A and B are shown apart, each in its own frame.
Chain A
């Protein structure tokens, strides 16, 4: 059996507020296969985003291990973790989080500045990424000159610019109208099917969840039922 791309083992996560421990995740065990499109669903406060953040390496578990492509990311230093994220993770946020002072091209180029690519190589990657999301004609547009759907597509282009295996999306359609949401979901499905990207997506939207292969439910910090979607 092939090694999963992501393996979450016995993970606990607690936050502290005024010395009061608030458990968020309890004993999470989860394998995500390479090329899988997993939806994470659950009520607010169930720990979906926290689990996503742990897999993304932007937060650390209180206990347990998280292996991504056989790398125990919890053992990485902050510096190693930052380098690891830049090479292996594409992150899509609910509110796009583009830099308002940079145009679409420059926003997509941002993660590539941390690589050793030459200027022409970066340009080629950016143009490819923007081509994939269908925004080749919007390269010079600033975020405030784009619609919400277009902004999210630029954000997706930024997430795939470094060609990571794993794309993590935190409610990518949460701030979009129905049509834009469908466009974004089509794009994520395309990345999954055509480009073999492994995608983990947190969502509240059952329609968005239908695009995933599997939906893993969480409830009160624990894994609940898992359902196959397509």
Chain B
């Protein structure tokens, strides 16, 4: 009990230094939690994938397209119950910085295959009726203040030209982590413009989305689809939606690896911050430890004092960092919703953040403890404050 009192009083002995160390710990733990959350968010998109959906793309690369006629052939395969297609539009909305995903789709079949994008029935009907119409997620609409009936003009790049869309519907994601930052419009409208302005550029789509009866047959049906187009001008690569999404994540593999390295470096930095504080602390108190040893206190008592103080500072910094994460991450979630629809602060992240702080608290005390224990009483007593 008295040792705890001594630890607590030692902790607040240099208030400014302790406060700055705790603050440094807190910011580092918050950075750790934010980075971990970003990594989780990156992979979270794959979690929204449905097991009964396959994605068919050009075997060479996503940047190569597939003939739209493939859709009917795929639909004939046994076990396939619906086919749609989606093409990445790219383009610019007013300014390149206003980035958001835009897809040209076969509207009716696409909405049927993706029930997670529900829109009110009258909006759905209006969207399907009007070829130059579009729908947008509620976050996207809120971001730009769009309302039903607004004209949205996109400057195409992959599909050159100026395209005007009437916003006919706004969807709210059916699940918590459903992307609400995307705009969908009719492929027919884009294709028609291409046919008129760039003949030969029409009739091709980016990917097919295939819904199957039995998710257990995904591999078999994928092989059947790919076999159907083998030795054709545009061979296909079919995979589950989850594998397809993870493939996208792998495109960003170096970024994720970089983030993981940074998160480890953050732990290293907080170790140095606290280690430096504890080293200074122990150096200043070598004389006191010598006095305590003279009085009969032994190594375990000295270890308890140094370790206790280090852990107290680390835990306080860690808890403050977790609190900051809890405050900051919702704001980041809102800011990054277009790029990372799910940005969840998960319990495992909080546990890891706290565990990292605790580990740092223990490790930071190792060298000061060794120094304090190795310093003889006689040498310690020679040191005068």
Name A's B-contacting residues (CB within 8 A).
53, 56, 58-59, 78-79, 82-83, 85-87, 91, 93, 95, 97, 99-102, 106, 109-111, 113-114, 158
Chain B's nearest CB lies how many Å from the CB of A208? 20
C-alpha spacing A53/B382, complex, angstroms = 12
In the complex, are the beta carbons of A91 and B295 less than 8 A apart?
Answer: yes
Q: Binary interface profile of B, 282-315, with partner A (CB < 8 Å = 1, else 0)?
A: 0000011001111111100000000000000000
Q: Whose C-beta in chain B lies nearest to the C-beta of A87? A: B296
In the complex, are the beta carbons of A86 and B295 less than 8 A apart?
Answer: yes
Q: Residues of B contacting A91 with CB < 8 Å?
A: 294-295
In the complex, are the beta carbons of B6 and A79 less than 8 A apart?
Answer: no
Q: Residues of A contacting B381 with CB < 8 Å?
A: 58, 93, 97
In the complex, are the beta carbons of A99 and B378 less than 8 A apart?
Answer: no
Q: Residues of A contacting B9 with CB < 8 Å?
A: 101-102
In the complex, are the beta carbons of A114 and B6 less than 8 A apart?
Answer: no
A-B contact pairs, 29 of them (CB 8 A): A53-B377, A56-B294, A58-B294, A58-B378, A59-B376, A59-B377, A59-B378, A78-B298, A82-B293, A85-B294, A85-B295, A86-B296, A87-B296, A93-B291, A93-B381, A95-B385, A97-B381, A99-B6, A99-B288, A101-B6, A101-B9, A101-B10, A102-B6, A106-B5, A111-B295, A111-B296, A113-B2, A114-B296, A158-B295
B interface residues, how many (CB within 8 angstroms): 22
Is B216 located at the chain interface by the 8 A CB criterion? Answer: no
Q: Residues of A contacting B378 with CB < 8 Å?
A: 53, 58-59
Q: Residues of A contacting B295 with CB < 8 Å?
A: 85-86, 91, 110-111, 114, 158
A56-B294, A82-B293 are known; give 9 further A-B pairs, CB within 8 A.
A58-B377, A58-B381, A87-B296, A102-B6, A102-B9, A109-B2, A111-B295, A113-B2, A114-B296
Is B16 located at the chain interface by the 8 A CB criterion? Answer: no
Interface of B, helix, strand, loop or mixed by DSSP: helix
Q: Binary interface profile of B, 1-39, with partner A (CB < 8 Å = 1, else 0)?
A: 010011001100100000000000000000000000000
C-alpha spacing A95/B376, complex, angstroms = 18
9 closest A-B pairs by CB: A86-B296, A101-B9, A58-B377, A97-B291, A111-B295, A82-B298, A85-B296, A114-B296, A82-B296
Q: Residues of B contacting A53 with CB < 8 Å?
A: 377-378
C-alpha spacing A155/B233, complex, angstroms = 95
Chain A's nearest CB lies how many Å from the CB of B296? 2
In the complex, are the beta carbons of A58 and B13 less than 8 A apart?
Answer: no
